A and B are shown apart, each in its own frame.
Chain A
Amino acid sequence: MALLSKKDTSLILDPLADNNPITIQVLGICSALAITAELKASIVMALSVMFVLGMGNVVISLMRNIIPSKIRIIVQLVVVAALVIMVDQVLKAFAYELSKTLSVFVGLIITNCIIMGRFEAFALANGPWRSFLDGIGNSAGYGLILIIIGFFRELLGSGTLLGYKVLGDPIEKTGLYAIGYENNGFMLLSPMALIVVGLIIWVQRSRNKALIEEN
Chain B
Amino acid sequence: MAINTDKNSYTVIFAAIMVVIVGSLLAFFASSLSEKIQENERLEKQQNILYAMGVNENEDEGSVNFVSTDKVAGEFKKYIKEQLVIEGDKITKDDNAYLIDLKKQETEAKAGKTRKLPLFIGEKDGSKYYIIPMRGKGLWDAIWGFVALDNNLVVKGVYFDHKGETPGLGANIKQRYFMDDFAGESILKGTEYAGIAVAKGNNDPTNEIKDDNEVDALAGATITGNGLSAMIKESVKLYKSYLESIRAKN
Contact = CB atoms under 8 A, between A and B. Distances in A.
A162 B162 CA distance: 20
B36 A158 contact: no
Nearest to B165: A104
Given A37-B167, A82-B22, A92 B219 contact: no
A71 B14 CA distance: 9
Interface of A: 34-38, 40-41, 65-71, 74-75, 78, 82, 85-86, 89-90, 92-94, 96, 103-104, 107, 153-154, 157-158, 163, 171, 185, 188-189
Interface of B: 3, 5-6, 10-11, 14-15, 18-19, 22, 25-26, 29-30, 33, 36-37, 40, 44, 62-63, 140, 163-169, 171, 205-206, 219-220
A188 B219 contact: yes
Given A66-B14, A92-B37, A171 B206 contact: yes
Given A82-B25, A86-B25, A93-B36, A103 B164 contact: yes
Contact of B6 (A70, A75, A107): A70
A85 B165 CA distance: 20
A204 B249 CA distance: 71
B18 A85 contact: no
Given A86-B25, A188-B168, A96 B44 contact: yes
8 contacts: A38-B168, A67-B14, A86-B29, A89-B30, A92-B33, A104-B140, A104-B164, A104-B166
Contact of B40 (A69, A93, A158): A93
Contact of B169 (A37, A40, A74, A86): A37
Given A96-B44, A185-B220, A69 B167 contact: no
B3 A154 contact: no
B225 to A, nearest CB: 14
A146 B140 CA distance: 22
Contact of B167 (A68, A104, A157): A104
Contacts of A92: 33, 37, 40
> Which has the most chain B C-beta neighbours within 10 Å: A69, A86, A163?
A86
Nearest to B13: A68
A40 B168 CA distance: 9
A104 B171 contact: yes
B37 A89 contact: yes
Contacts of B29: 85-86, 89-90
Contacts of A71: 11, 14-15
A107 B163 CA distance: 12
Q: 6 closest A-B pairs (Cβ-Cβ)?
A: A37-B168, A38-B168, A41-B167, A68-B11, A93-B36, A93-B33
A163 B220 CA distance: 17
A82 B26 contact: yes
Nearest to B66: A97
B231 to A, nearest CB: 19
A69 B6 contact: yes
Given A66-B3, A70-B6, A78 B37 contact: no
Nearest to A185: B219
A89 B38 CA distance: 11
Given A66-B3, A78-B22, A189 B220 contact: yes
Contacts of B5: 65-69
A69 B4 CA distance: 10
A82 B19 CA distance: 11
Given A74-B15, A157-B168, 20 more contacts: A34-B166, A35-B168, A36-B168, A37-B168, A37-B169, A65-B3, A66-B14, A75-B14, A78-B19, A85-B29, A86-B25, A86-B29, A89-B29, A90-B29, A92-B33, A104-B140, A104-B171, A185-B220, A188-B169, A188-B220
Contacts of A107: 164
A103 B219 CA distance: 23
B10 A68 contact: yes
Contacts of A65: 3, 5
